[in-house]
C-alpha cells in the first residue's frame, strides 16, 4: 500500500513540475508559431475558461468559481488515490490530480491557463492544450482501464462499477 501511495504522490508531483516548467518555457520563448511536424506545432495561447474555452467570458468571478470547483475535484480524486491499493487506478487518478493542479496553479497565478500544443490537419485545428491537459486525458484512460480490471485486492467487488438498483 505504501508503494502505491508513494508512486501516486511521485507521479502527481512529476506532472505538476513538468507541466509548470514547459508552460514557463512556452511563455518565455514562444513568440511565433514553431512547426514541429506537418500536424504538430507550438503556438502560445491563454485560456481563461476550461476545456474548449467554456466559461472563458465569465470574468474574475468565474475564475474563482472554477478554482473552487477544481479544488473540490482534486480533493475527491486525491482521497480516492490515497485509499486505493491498485497501482493502475492510483496512476490514473494521480495523472488527473497532477494535471488539474498544474492548470489550477496557472489559473490562480495568471487568471488563465497557458496552452501551447497545437494539433492540426491542414487548416483544421484541435483546441490548443498543454501537458496538464494531456495528463488528465491519459489519467482518464487509465481509470477506464482500471475499471475493467476488477476488484481491489482483498475485496470481493470491483471498486469502479455502476450500481444498478
Please, what is the average pLDDT of the chain? Answer: 87
Cα separation, 127 vs 146, in Å, equals 28
Query: Is 118 considered catalytic here?
Result: no
Whether residue 158 is contained in a domain is answered as: no
Task: Note the pLDDT tens digit of each residue in 10-26.
Answer: 999 999 999 999 999 99
Q: Is residue 153 part of a domain?
A: no
Question: Which tens digits make up the pLDDT trace of 103-139?
Answer: 999 999 998 899 999 999 988 989 899 999 999 999 9
Give how many domains the chain has, as a whole number. Answer: 1
Determine which one of 19, 106, 115, 118 is catalytic.
115
Does residue 154 fall inside a structural domain? no
Query: Do residues 131 and 73 touch, judged by C-beta distance below 8 A?
Result: no
Q: Considering the domain boundaries, does residue 10 fall inside one?
A: yes
Tell me whether residue 99 is in a domain.
yes
Is residue 115 part of the annotated active site? The answer reads yes
Q: Which domain holds residue 18?
A: 2-148
Q: What is the pLDDT of residue 157?
A: 46
Q: Is 162 among the domain residues?
A: no
Q: Structure pTM?
A: 0.83
Catalytic residue among 19, 106, 118, 133: 133
In this structure, the number of other CB atoms found within 10 A of the CB of residue 8 comes to 25
Does 144 reside within a domain?
Answer: yes
111 belongs to a structural domain: yes
State the Cα angle at 106 between 47 and 108, rounded to 5°. Answer: 105
Amino acid at each position: 500500500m505504501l508503494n502505491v501511495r508513494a508512486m501516486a504522490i511521485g507521479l502527481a508531483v512529476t506532472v505538476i513540475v513538468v507541466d509548470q516548467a514547459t508552460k514557463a518555457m512556452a511563455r518565455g520563448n514562444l513568440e511565433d508559431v514553431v512547426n514541429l511536424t506537418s500536424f504538430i506545432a507550438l503556438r502560445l495561447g491563454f485560456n481563461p475558461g476550461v476545456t474548449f474555452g467554456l466559461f472563458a467570458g465569465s470574468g474574475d468571478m468565474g475564475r474563482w468559481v472554477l478554482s473552487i470547483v477544481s479544488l473540490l475535484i482534486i480533493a475527491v480524486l486525491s482521497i480516492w488515490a490515497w485509499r486505493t491499493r491498485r497501482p493502475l487506478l492510483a496512476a490514473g487518478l494521480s495523472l488527473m490530480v497532477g494535471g488539474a493542479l498544474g492548470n489550477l496553479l496557472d489559473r490562480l497565478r495568471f487568471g488563465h491557463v497557458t496552452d501551447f500544443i497545437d494539433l492540426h490537419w491542414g487548416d483544421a485545428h484541435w483546441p490548443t492544450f498543454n501537458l496538464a491537459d494531456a495528463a488528465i486525458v491519459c489519467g482518464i484512460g487509465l481509470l477506464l482501464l482500471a475499471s475493467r480490471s476488477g476488484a481491489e485486492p482483498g475485496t470481493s467487488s470491483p471498486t469502479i462499477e455502476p450500481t444498478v438498483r
